[in-house]
Chains A and B, each alone.
Chain A
Amino acid sequence: MAEAFKFELVSPERLLVSEQVEAVVIPGAEGEMTVMAHHAPVMTTIKPGVVTVKTAAGKEERYVVFGGFADIVPAGCTLLAESAVAVGDIDRADLARRIQEAREDAADAKDDQTRTKAEQFLSQLTTLEGAILPA
């Protein structure tokens, strides 16, 4: 059994998770990564996606995050999410609204750079929708 480390998932509204875990899969901005104990210090932004937490007790929990930030040190991992919900509690309407907003942002973008960014965000959101909501 792998060694446990401290993982915290924090959203601006509240502290969602703070416990000993075995492994966490984070949707990093430059690809998914799995964090385990004694990970080298990394700081990364995260894209909208699913965070999978494997607790020390062996349970697996999944959370949907919409962008944010991860701070990984050997002693633990802190995930500052802009907004986070457990996969079971995700609100379809809310997700649809976010996608709609992203679509509008992409359409309104004034220059190429912001448009690329908005489109990227939109595609991440739709991928996310496909991943967690088997329609």
Chain B
Amino acid sequence: MASLKDLRNRIASVKATQKITKAMQMVAAAKLRRAQEAAEAARPYSERMGAVLANITQAIGDGSDAPALMTGTGKDDVHLLVVCTAERGLCGGFNSQIARLARDHIRKLLAAGKKVKIICVGKKGFDILRRDYAELIIDRVDLREVKTLGFVNADAIAKKVIQLFNEGGFDICTLFYSQFKSVISQIPTTQQIIPAGVASAPAAVTDGGNAVYEYEPEPGEILSDLIPRNISVQVFRALLENAAGEMGAKMSAMDNATRNAGDMINKLSITYNRQRQAQITKELIEIISGAEAL
């Protein structure tokens, strides 16, 4: 049985931990709001981009002069997986959920005899995937130093992917990230970005009906400029969703931790009080029985 002093120390340490988790929860809540705002602010761009893209693919029609990034290489032998996770832990199952989805996907691909390459964005996913698939990881992107996620960060990742594609490094590229549903639910998601499925673009919503557009320069040229940009945008969106999701997950994880610490303190306090009472009773009995013996 732990002594009274031990119990006291224990309670003090749990209280300290509770203060830390509480602070982390509040920090996560503040960051979550900012991340959510950023994600919302980025939405118009990706929406318009989708509309424009749908529009222009319609204009090109049969897609004979569509760039390879859009039509793909026509094979699906080599898959590139871009796995986006958080840089930090302590956010519940957030990272492991994404990693698990990626791992299932990899296993399926490998079983089908495909080749798999992985680019890890974020440290945590890298740490998890390294255990099983270290030899498949070709690159990792570190966003640890990045304070506020900017479009440049996403652009850099997209450029890497596109360069690899142009060198014939892979046929199909899939993005893994966590979709931010709400504070308590983040859904790990896959999204194919190369070849960019035209079907993934929302149906063309053109205000001017099917107006005949003039293109400056040629549609094909615009498209070849637009597709890489679209990939950057998709990556950017994924990163933003991830950032918001991470903060949401961290907030609820820390909330749980704070509550658990509270429960623990209650339990320890009860034990402490009971034990103290037992000791007092014991001492009283000793005194009384000592007096009786006289």
- Quick one: CB contact mask for A69-101 with B, threshold 8 Å, 1 for yes? 101011110101011000000000000000000
Closest to B148 in A: A13
Which of A8, A42, A44, A76 is close to B207, meaning CB atoms less than 8 Å apart?
A76
Bound form: Cα–Cα A11–B211 in Å: 25
Most buried by B among A13, A42, A74: A13
Q: Taking A10-B44, A45-B222 as contacts, is the C-beta distance between A74 and B215 under 8 angstroms?
A: no
Question: How many interface residues does A have (CB within 8 Å)?
Answer: 26
The answer to whether A45 touches B213, judged by C-beta atoms less than 8 angstroms apart, is no
The answer to whether A43 touches B41, judged by C-beta atoms less than 8 angstroms apart, is no
Question: How many interface residues does B have (CB within 8 Å)?
Answer: 34
The answer to whether A29 touches B38, judged by C-beta atoms less than 8 angstroms apart, is no
Does A131 sit at the interface, judged by CB under 8 A?
Answer: no
Residues of chain B with a CB closer than 8 A to A83's CB: 151
Does A58 sit at the interface, judged by CB under 8 A?
Answer: no
The answer to whether B216 touches A42, judged by C-beta atoms less than 8 angstroms apart, is yes
Does B42 sit at the interface, judged by CB under 8 A?
Answer: yes
Closest to A33 in B: B216
Does B197 sit at the interface, judged by CB under 8 A?
Answer: no
Residues of chain B with a CB closer than 8 A to A10's CB: 44-45, 48
Does A59 sit at the interface, judged by CB under 8 A?
Answer: no
- Give min CB distance, A96 to chain B, whole Å: 16
Residues of chain B with a CB closer than 8 A to A14's CB: 41-42
The answer to whether A42 touches B150, judged by C-beta atoms less than 8 angstroms apart, is no
The answer to whether A13 touches B151, judged by C-beta atoms less than 8 angstroms apart, is yes
Q: Taking A69-B226, A80-B45 as contacts, is the C-beta distance between A29 and B206 under 8 angstroms?
A: no
The answer to whether B52 touches A43, judged by C-beta atoms less than 8 angstroms apart, is yes
For the complex of A and B, 5 pairs with smallest distance between CB atoms? A14-B41, A44-B216, A12-B151, A73-B208, A41-B211
